[in-house]
Structure 1
Amino acid sequence: MKLYCTGNARFYEYGQTWTIDTIIQKVMQSKFIPDFKRTNSFEFISATINKLTAWVTYYLQSTFTRNGKEELVKWMETVVLVKEKKKWKINVLHSTRLPKN
């Protein structure tokens, strides 16, 4: 995951500021759930590129399976990307969880 982020990447989730290490720790926790599965789908709203910076806004829908139960969670996210050595890397990601319908 660190290959896809800048060295100072920040993630703004649930009113908190997370680093890439926070994200990795949360992903690793899911590995202890025997039947854990996550399937994602994206609906892109907008994308803008200005030289070495890009920002993309999209809806993310994830289906989680754990402990034999399925849960659907939706977010609206905006990611700021920076081009480093010809590769786009995440610099900032802001996520807002959407209410369940």
Structure 2
Amino acid sequence: MHFKFLLLSMLLSLQLFAQENKDSLSIVRVLREDYKTMVTHDIRKHMGFCTDKYTLIENGEIWNMAREAEGYRKDAGRVLERKDDFHFRFIRIYGETAYAVYNLQSVITENGITTHKNWNESVIFRKLDGQWKIELIHSTPIRIE
């Protein structure tokens, strides 16, 4: 009987680990795909990756989706290339809520001019109808000397 309990416990642990790993991969995919919308200026796609309560904290300002949508529309004519390199410190998952902490290094080229950007960011995700969505992004720029 003790062996059956041990075996059942091990199988349950493996299943939970597999689900957490699957969720972590989904979270990373959502974040990477969402960042691509800044190049395509696809606000509808961006909104699809976010909850209705989405908030962005950037450069000390607090933006809701309406404010961010203004920026997407304003920048719609810009043509740029962007390569994002995410360095995840960790992802923590607690049921239907998760958060990620990472460093983001980006190379952005516009009109032949290339700039390098570096941020430390944290994101809170909510799982809605089986899909991970971004609820909050907090972004802190890192100065490159």
Give TM-score scaled by structure 1 length.
0.90
Equivalent pair of 1:59/1:74 in contact (CA under 8 Å): yes
- Aligned twin of 1:81: 125
Is residue 91 of structure 1 aligned with residue 141 of structure 2?
Answer: no
Structural mapping, 1:44-83, within 5 Å: 44-83=88-127
Q: Which has the higher contact order (CA 8 A, sep 6+)?
A: 1
Structure 2 residue aligned with 1:23, among 36, 45, 68?
A: 68
Aligned to 1:61, the other structure's residue is in SS state strand
Could you list the runs of 4 or more consecutive aligned residues of structure 1 that deviate by over 6 angstroms after TM superposition? Answer: none
Q: Distance in 2 between matches of 1:33 and 1:51?
A: 39
Q: Distance in 1 between matches of 2:117 and 2:73?
A: 19
Work out the number of aligned pairs and report it.
Answer: 100
Equivalent pair of 1:33/1:67 in contact (CA under 8 Å): no
**Where do 5+ consecutive residues of structure 2 fail to align?**
1-45
**Where do 5+ consecutive residues of structure 1 fail to align?**
none
The structure carrying a bigger helix percent of its residues is 2
**Sequence identity percentage:** 28
Give TM-score scaled by structure 2 length.
0.64
Q: Distance in 2 between matches of 1:42 and 1:22?
A: 25
